[in-house]
Amino acid sequence: MEVDLSTLVLVPAIAAVAPLATRAVGRWIAVPLVVFEILLGLVLGPSVLGWVQEDDFIALFADLGLAMLFYLAGREIDFRAIRGTPIVRAGIGWLVSIVLGIALGFLVDPGAGAVFVGVALASTALGALLPILRDSGVLRTPFGVSILAIGAVGEFGPLLAISLFLSGRSPLHSALVLLAFAVIAGVLMFFAARGDGARLHRAIEASLHTSGQFVVRLVMFVLLALVALSIFLGIDMLLGAFAAGVLGKLLLQGAPAREAEVTEAKIEAVGFGLLVPVFFINTGITFDLAALVSDLRTLLLLPLFTVLLLVTRGLPAAMLAPPGSTVRERVSTGFFAATGLPIIVAVTALGVDAGDLDSGMAAALVGAGLLSVLLYPLIALTVRTGNPRRPRQESNLRPRD
């Protein structure tokens, strides 16, 4: 495995510096943490200074970080809160988005890349939004529940589309494979929900403050087992990671409050403290800036895709916001829904590897995702609260339902 020593040191350095930069700038404006991680990776990476290089070791950690991001997204979803009207509205909004996205994709790229463009435009970065929603204190509000439903569908829907239509197999074959995965995951979730939680919680509590750290090891096992299953079946690994998050939540439900707080802190420490930052930093490192600025047409695609994310994903979500939503809430909903990055990175990588999407258009799509993460949550929070500063943070040590 290729390992670059400067990269080995500078990537964790970026991860350590980014929260300090976010805190310093947050006195004036609420810039999401992931923005600094991506930008610092871009500046120190091959596209600008060249101090950090792509290598196999960081790439592996980045893949684990992306999987953990989707695990945390699946774990965060409260199905009891979003069931019924919120999930139905979010589902209808996403169906409108995918149809609109593919139609716009054919206008931009009449070839085989249109579907890749459409799926990318119809995505919502729930994993990237979760820290922002939590830190802004709105995650547990009715508005936050609505965004959670939109984000869940906007992340799960594209994963299904990738597995069904972009896997290189026939849709029927892909559907049968997905059904097999759903049956296996469903059976595991059924037994997790009906299992003897007391015995598991005793094992977790006994090692919470020892070198055993059973809960962390259990989480990593569940995550990697379902990721391995999805890879074995030939579907996108992120679908396995997302399902692992739901399964992990079911396994750990019903824990005493203190145990739940400590457990949550440990899982988030591994996720947001170690693995997830490497994914965002590596996104900046691997960003193909040269392909983006190679010609004027490709460069013009960057603002075009940034606007199309808002049109394709944001507009339907805003129109289908919960009844009684104010104009501010509808506009804010649209900007949150249009925030996309992880799915865009995954889809464009598949398109480039398949030869259906040129590297310049892929770079423009990823660049639009970067801009959406930079601009849209900030605009959404500002519109909703009228204050661009970072709000008082919600505690990360809250027991989950």
Query: Exposed, middle or buried: residue 118 (CB in 10 Å: 0-12, 13-18, 19+)?
Result: buried
Q: Which amino acid is present at 76? A: E
The residue to which tokens 């965002």 are assigned: 280
CATH number of the domain enclosing 151: 1.20.1530.20
Neighbours of 20 (CB within 10 A): 10
The answer to whether residues 314 and 334 touch, using CB atoms and an 8 Å cutoff, is: yes
195 belongs to a structural domain: yes
249 belongs to a structural domain: yes
Neighbours of 2 (CB within 10 A): 11
262 belongs to a structural domain: yes
Structure tokens at 5: 């020593």
399 belongs to a structural domain: no
- Note every long-range contact of 47-52, with CB atoms under 8 Å and residues 24 or more positions apart, other chains counting: 47/287, 47/288, 47/289, 47/290, 48/289, 51/6, 51/10, 52/4, 52/6, 52/7, 52/10, 52/11, 52/14, 52/285
394 belongs to a structural domain: no
The answer to whether residues 118 and 102 touch, using CB atoms and an 8 Å cutoff, is: yes
370 belongs to a structural domain: yes
Dist CA 249 CA 32 (whole Å): 26
| Domain span holding position 135 | 5-385
Positions of the chain with pLDDT under 70:
1-2, 167-168, 195-196, 386-401
The answer to whether residues 280 and 37 touch, using CB atoms and an 8 Å cutoff, is: yes
Structure tokens at 195: 């299992």
395 belongs to a structural domain: no
What's the total number of domains in the chain?
A: 1
Neighbours of 325 (CB within 10 A): 17
Helix (H) or strand (E) holding 399: none
Q: What is the pLDDT of residue 396?
A: 39
56 belongs to a structural domain: yes
Q: What is the pLDDT of residue 392?
A: 44
pTM (predicted TM-score)? 0.85
Q: What is the pLDDT of residue 56?
A: 87
The answer to whether residues 150 and 90 touch, using CB atoms and an 8 Å cutoff, is: yes
Neighbours of 112 (CB within 10 A): 12
